């Protein structure tokens, strides 16, 4: 995994993307949004996002990222569709037993003809990573791989009736510094969808450069339906001084 640089020369958007008429019609609301605008949409269209997971937390995130206008999604999941994935928003009854990766790709293509979706490969060049695996071990490993590759990333982990979202932009403390390991329970009552969409929202804010000054690293805890954010702090001794 490597990170793609932003910016492109000559008469096009800052990210090398010029919106077509169908794109302008589709993303009209976002283009009108102060702070986002056509430049923000162009940044999203140019983005190449690696998504780790295609289960109940990642599914809603993938669907919204595709429809919000992210240009290319690289999906990364090794599981099969089971009844537990009903909350993933992506799968029909016909997908049961199929590989989630390919069923999710099909669902994304059906949702939007404006997104390119591919399986992730280790040499894929990406601009950011969204980690929404329902397996905490997989999530920790994926976050560390993104950090080592110098890729900005957001991690969403659902837990019971809430969960956490950790932003790791350039130079921010790593996920390990921000994360509090502990006993986790399978998300219920829609918590996975809330955490997944919040993580995707954070990624979009990061990619579209909506937050003045970048905002730095932060952790958002979702408890009893209320998101509460705080800046992340580097654990003494951690060598995660990313600047990319």
Instruction: Pick one of 2, 12, 18, 25: the residue that binds another protein (CB under 8 A).
Output: 25
3-state class of 159 per DSSP? Answer: strand
Q: Does 81 bind another protein (CB under 8 A)?
A: no
Q: Least distance from C-beta 30 to another protein, angstroms?
A: 6
Q: What is the C-alpha separation between 243 and 128, in angstroms, rounded?
A: 14
Angle at 153 between CA 152 and CA 158, to 5 degrees: 170
In this structure, the dihedral spanned by the alpha carbons of residues 77, 122, 50 and 20, taken in order and rounded to 10 degrees, is -120
Contact between 111 and another protein per CB under 8 A: yes
Residue 39: name the closest of 8, 64, 67, 63 by CA: 8
* Cβ at position 71, least distance to another protein in Å: 14
Say whether residue 97 binds another protein (CB under 8 A): no
Min dist. Cβ of residue 101 to another protein (A): 18
Half-sphere exposure in the Cβ direction for 159 (13 Å, CA): 16
* Residues 164 to 203 in contact with another protein, rule: CB under 8 A: 188-191, 193-194, 196-198, 200-201
Provide the CB-side half-sphere exposure for 20 (13 A, CA).
Answer: 6
Name the site residues for another protein (rule: CB under 8 A): 22, 25-30, 32-36, 56, 60, 63-65, 67-69, 86-87, 89, 91-93, 110-113, 161, 188-191, 193-194, 196-198, 200-201, 204-205, 210-212, 215, 218, 220, 224-229
């Amino acid at each position: 995994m490597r990170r793609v640089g932003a910016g492109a020369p000559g008469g096009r958007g800052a990210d090398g993307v010029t919106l077509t008429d169908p794109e302008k019609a589709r993303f009209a609301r976002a283009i009108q949004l102060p702070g986002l605008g056509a430049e923000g949409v162009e940044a999203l269209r140019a983005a190449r996002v690696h998504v780790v997971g295609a289960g109940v937390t990642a599914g809603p995130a993938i669907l919204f990222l595709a429809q919000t206008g992210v240009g290319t999604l690289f999906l990364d999941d090794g599981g099969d569709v089971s009844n537990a994935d009903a909350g993933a928003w992506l799968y029909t009854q016909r997908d049961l037993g199929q590989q989630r990766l390919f069923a999710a790709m099909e669902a994304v293509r059906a949702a939007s003809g404006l997104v390119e979706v591919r399986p992730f490969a280790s040499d894929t060049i990406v601009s950011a990573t969204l980690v929404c695996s329902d397996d905490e071990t997989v999530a920790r490993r994926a976050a560390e791989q993104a950090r080592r590759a110098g890729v900005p990333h957001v991690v969403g982990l659902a837990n019971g009736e809430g969960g956490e979202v950790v932003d790791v932009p350039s130079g921010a403390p790593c996920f390990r510094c921000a994360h509090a390991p502990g006993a986790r329970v399978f998300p219920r009552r829609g918590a996975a969808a809330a955490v997944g969409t919040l993580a995707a929202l954070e990624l979009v804010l990061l990619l579209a450069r909506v937050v003045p000054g970048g905002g730095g690293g932060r952790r958002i805890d979702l408890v009893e339906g209320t998101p509460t954010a705080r800046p992340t702090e580097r654990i003494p001794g951690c060598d995660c001084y990313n600047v990319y």
